[in-house]
Structure 1
Amino acid sequence: MGAIIGYILIVIVLVTVVSLGSNIKRNREIKERIERGWENVVEEKYNEEDLKTIAEYFNNRRKAKEKEFFIDEITWNDLSMNSIFKKINITESSPGEQYLYNMLREPLYDEKKLKERDRLINFFGEHEEERKKIQYILAKLGKARECFISDYFYKKDGKRKSSLMYYRILSAMPIIGLAVAFLNIHIGIMIAFGSVVVNMYTYYTEKSKISHNLQAFNYIIQIIKHSDLILKEDIKELDDYNRKLKEAFQGIKDIKNKSFSSGNNGTDVGILIEYINIVFLRELINYEKMSNMLIEKNKEFKIIFEVIGSIDSLMAIAAYRKRLNYYTTPELIKCNNKQEAIYNFEDMIHPLIGEAIPNSIEMKDSILITGSNASGKSTFLKTLAINIILGQTIYTCLAKEFKCCYFKIYTSMALKDDIFNNESYYIVETRSLKRIIDSVNREVPTICFVDEILRGTNTVERISASSQVLKHLTLNNCICVAATHDVELTHILERYFTNYHFQEKIENNEIIFDYRIHEGRATTQNAIKLLGVLGYSSAIVEKAQEKANKFLSDGLWEIE
């Protein structure tokens, strides 16, 4: 018996030494990466599944807060916000990147909350030593995108049938067998051997049902352990966050002692751990305890997740600011009515365009933008929309000055036919516009960005319907920023919309764009001339221009 115990102790020591060596190597690599600094961050690669798990907390939060405003899918996709998220996301943990993703999709309407974000962003940007300590702790936590963590925090309260007592009895049997062996070795060995067989069957049968949950539970425990390490750093600027952590820890003190393996990984050490878990049903017992606790204490777990996520995401935003050539914090005004403010945007740039041309505009109400293709209309719409979102989420605008109301933001821009629902482009677009009309209320002004309104139908009906839709929006509590090729709309709506345009020149058979917004409607139309620049035959270009001139003169199209 003594020899068996000795062998077990030797194995435990070997496992401990190997684990310590692996951890030391990993921690050294993390420290070296953090010391290299934010300037040397390697842009992470994502697949479609990564983005689905990253959006998990957002999806749960949106369902739980159905009456709150979130950036919807159409707007998010129109503005390529996934790409902007990726550009900002250098978080170290899953709570961090999930919280950051939700932050970009949940605009705030509270100056105090935005100022608090700004305070911590500035703190992490200016205090390298403290930031690196927190960054190191979160990097050791790491990411577990295969686990859907926040699903457990948002489960509704309820009771579940627990097998905890059953597992505890089974786990005790091998020890009882060894104890009996001191009195009767044959009976003791039979009890011990029989219990190992039963436990093996129970373990593998039950674990196959809950393996994914075990991974998630193990990561939740790691979140709690690492949040405790942040608490122990006792950084004064994190006092409010530390207080929340302390309060949440009160009800879940024992959770840090639990652990779950995620499989043996094919290694000798992993296989040994697997066998130990089989004999004592350690993971199944902890799983039952954890499942019960997550139901009873889901608020506490949610608080810890959100505190860690907030700290991690704010560090990522601080890093993002460091990488920008310039930015400003916005001046946001609470308006019940859109006409309570003048909107001033100076030297705005698009966050995804290298060496972007800055644009400035002062707006009092809705605007209509005309100009040829590729002149910059759509980019301007996206630039303004993105910066409004960034201003109300990460309190960071890529501009020299940024002043506007708090807004609900919608776009209707990069739409496509919905072949799965058998809907044409026109139907998809009219639904998109309808959702904006339905959003308008007197509590918070809406700002919408519409690119080439109703392009999916004929000219006469498009101009007629477009004028009424745009008029309806701007006569209600909505600022409408619309781009169109239909110059007729600039005349029909000139009482309601201020006209702006983008322009280009054709010099030496080359197209030259300045990509800057100008006052007034577009006075030139170069679409036909562009055909010649792009290599179309002179016969096509000249005949097209002749027919266009004829129509402008007589109001009739010449029959071929």
Structure 2
Amino acid sequence: MKNKFLFLDGRFGMEPLFPIKDDEISTVHKYYRSFLDTSLHTLDDITWNDLDLDTIYRNMNATYSGAGDFMLYGMLRQPCLSNESLHHRLTVMNWARNEVEERDAVIHHLYGAGKRYEDDLEQPFQHDYSNSSRQYRSRALVYSMFISAAFAFLMPMPFAVIAGVLLIYNIFRSFILHKQLENEMDSLVYMLSHIETVHQLAAEPFTGLPGLKKHLEELSEAMHDVHARRSLDYFEKSSSTLNFLFQSESIYYDKYAKAIYERQDIVRDIFQTIGTLDACIAAASYQDYAHASDNVLLSEEGRFIDATDMIHPLLENPVSNHVDIHENRLITGSNATGKSTYLKMIAINAIFAQSFHFAFAKQYRASYFKIATSMTLHDDLFQNESTFVAEVKSLHSLLELCHDDIPALCMVDEILRGTNTLERIAASSAILHQFAQSNCICLGATHDIELTHILEKDYQNYHFTEKMEKDKMVFDYKIHRGPTTTRNAISLLKILGYQSDLIEQAKSRLNHFEQQGEWETIAS
């Protein structure tokens, strides 16, 4: 196998060789829970979408097996909450980086397991599709054919005729069973390919990983009687004729379908073990490719984030910011100054630090957090929910997350934007105050300057700003202390070519409100 897949060598630290597609990510999203511990804290769909983690997953997914797809996805969705759980991932990543020859040999085995997104991966676990009587009947017909062929040398008639009839019948019956079992066979072959990979991996040395080595050997031994991937794979053209003649597909299907159903806990463990190994190799490769720093220190105590020169990994030319957060913060600023990007940057770095022990910063020091966001919600037309109702539900979920021993890191952008100004400020201040009383760090971005005064005892104020240079708006994308003192909405109207009299009217009405405390009625 080493010589067969030479094109895989030297790929570590490079972009993925086989980029995953959108429909394939949807399949991973559908099945990943089947192979993870659902009792652990998992990033919800809102947070996943807010942070564009599909794109990040696509960028770093240099896995080679289907199990690797699922476990890499799961690692991003389930950041570790303790040093113990993160240590195993880090140990495997360090092995992948240091033991080059072993890593490359393992990658060849993982590639052999394959990726298939069209199969129902839960099917072999949900029902025992094997049929003992069908298996016995198939074996009896094959044996009868051989016995008849043997006797045909002594008595051509009638045994030669019987052997010929049985040969034709076996081929015909194999074809019928092939069609009947085709869908179930696909899923079973996928499982068998990973079981076969465990047998191969168990023979590798895994220097410095005695626990993983022992576990692979135990899994291989537990499935020692399952060694028939090639016998089942009807895509192998060279063996298809013999498979039909000897009814190999149905015989092996019944044998191994039963084995997988009865030992499904072991098979799930195989997927998790292979997938974790594959995902850790991919994560270490991405760390090198993205030049991310492993200068990370995580604490199981306190609530804080200290980082130097942190950036957002999806930006082409990111501006770095120092992050020194020990309290709740309200972040104000005009449009396009960088408030939302700043929140996403911090959340993404926290996820990477807790999932893979590296960050997009020169150094990263922080507590472990349960991470959640409420940023870019949309109307849910299928459930007849408005943006406002969806956001209220989302915020309630965030508050529930804050009643735990492990602190939450909550990112809230433009809170309650879907309702009128007076109720928004009243409700927002109450909700944000509740966050401040909980076990969390809440970072909220808002245009409502009133909140900076109402919540000044609960939240530290920071802002982003901009300046005009020759009719051009310039942003520094740097965080500054205190609430914002600038606005740019009316200036943007001018830059975008609105008529000057409209702009002057807008400025006049704004000045009137600031001086009088009420809006001027527009004359018809």
Q: TM-score, normalised by structure 2?
A: 0.93
1:257 CA displacement: 3.7
Equivalence for 2:156: 185
Equivalence for 2:275: 309
Equivalence for 2:471: 509
Identify which range, 312-321 or 160-169, moves more after superposition.
Answer: 160-169
The one-letter amino acid paired with 2:141 is L
- Structure 2 counterpart SS, 1:482: strand
Equivalence for 1:90: 62
Q: How does 1:369-408 map to 2 (within 5 A)?
A: 369-408=331-370
Q: How does 1:185-204 map to 2 (within 5 A)?
A: 185-204=156-175
Q: Does 1:349 align with 2:311?
A: yes
1:120 CA displacement: 2.2
Equivalence for 1:540: 502
**1:60 aligned to which of 24, 34, 43:** 34
Q: How does 1:449-464 map to 2 (within 5 A)?
A: 449-464=411-426
- 1:45 & 1:426 partners in 2: Cα distance? 36
Aligned residues: 521
* 1:258-314 Cα deviation digits (max 9, x unpaired): 5345545xxxx82x6333222211011111111110122223222322222122111
1:509 CA displacement: 0.3
**2:396 aligned to which of 423, 431, 434:** 434
**2:511 aligned to which of 537, 541, 549:** 549
Unaligned runs of 5+ in 1: 1-22
Identify which range, 231-240 or 428-437, moves more after superposition.
Answer: 231-240
Equivalence for 1:253: 224
**1:499 aligned to which of 461, 469, 478:** 461
Identify which range, 241-250 or 173-182, moves more after superposition.
Answer: 173-182
- 1:156 & 1:71 partners in 2: Cα distance? 26
Matched-pair contact (CA < 8 Å) for 2:452–2:483: yes
- 1:31 & 1:471 partners in 2: Cα distance? 59
Identify which range, 224-233 or 497-506, moves more after superposition.
Answer: 224-233
Matched-pair contact (CA < 8 Å) for 2:371–2:409: yes
* 1:175-198 Cα deviation digits (max 9, x unpaired): 122123123223223322332343
Relative to structure 1, is the Cα distance of residues 310 and 54 closer, same or farther in structure 2, using a 3 angstrom cutoff? same
1:123 CA displacement: 2.5
* 1:303-343 Cα deviation digits (max 9, x unpaired): 322222122111111111112334134322224xxxx3443
Equivalence for 2:47: 75
Identify which range, 98-107 or 229-238, moves more after superposition.
Answer: 229-238
Identify which range, 171-180 or 283-292, moves more after superposition.
Answer: 171-180
1:528 CA displacement: 0.9
Unaligned runs of 5+ in 2: none
Q: How does 1:4-83 map to 2 (within 5 A)?
A: 30-35=5-10, 37-41=11-15, 44-61=18-35, 65-83=37-55
The one-letter amino acid paired with 2:262 is E
- Structure 2 counterpart SS, 1:85: helix
- 2:136 & 2:241 partners in 1: Cα distance? 21
- Structure 2 counterpart SS, 1:368: strand
Equivalence for 1:299: 265
Equivalence for 2:320: 358
- 1:330 & 1:471 partners in 2: Cα distance? 31
Matched-pair contact (CA < 8 Å) for 1:333–1:405: yes
Q: TM-score, normalised by structure 1?
A: 0.87
- Structure 1 counterpart SS, 2:412: strand
Matched-pair contact (CA < 8 Å) for 1:57–1:99: no
Equivalence for 2:213: 242
- 2:128 & 2:249 partners in 1: Cα distance? 23
- Structure 1 counterpart SS, 2:411: strand
- 1:43 & 1:539 partners in 2: Cα distance? 56
RMSD between superposed Cα atoms in Å: 2.3
Identify which range, 524-533 or 494-503, moves more after superposition.
Answer: 524-533
Equivalence for 1:174: 145
* 1:143-167 Cα deviation digits (max 9, x unpaired): 2333344664xx3697965332222
- Structure 2 counterpart SS, 1:505: strand
Relative to structure 1, is the Cα distance of residues 412 and 310 closer, same or farther in structure 2, using a 3 angstrom cutoff? same
* 1:467-514 Cα deviation digits (max 9, x unpaired): 111111221122211100001111111110111100000110001000
Q: Does 1:422 align with 2:384?
A: yes
Relative to structure 1, is the Cα distance of residues 404 and 42 closer, same or farther in structure 2, using a 3 angstrom cutoff? closer
- 2:38 & 2:520 partners in 1: Cα distance? 56
Equivalence for 2:189: 218
Relative to structure 1, is the Cα distance of residues 433 and 209 closer, same or farther in structure 2, using a 3 angstrom cutoff? farther
Relative to structure 1, is the Cα distance of residues 214 and 46 closer, same or farther in structure 2, using a 3 angstrom cutoff? same
Q: Does 1:145 align with 2:117?
A: yes
Q: Among all aligned residue pairs of Structure 1 and Structure 2, give the percentage whose two residues are the same amino acid.
A: 33
Identify which range, 157-166 or 288-297, moves more after superposition.
Answer: 157-166
- Structure 1 counterpart SS, 2:209: helix
Equivalence for 1:286: 252
Identify which range, 425-434 or 284-293, moves more after superposition.
Answer: 425-434
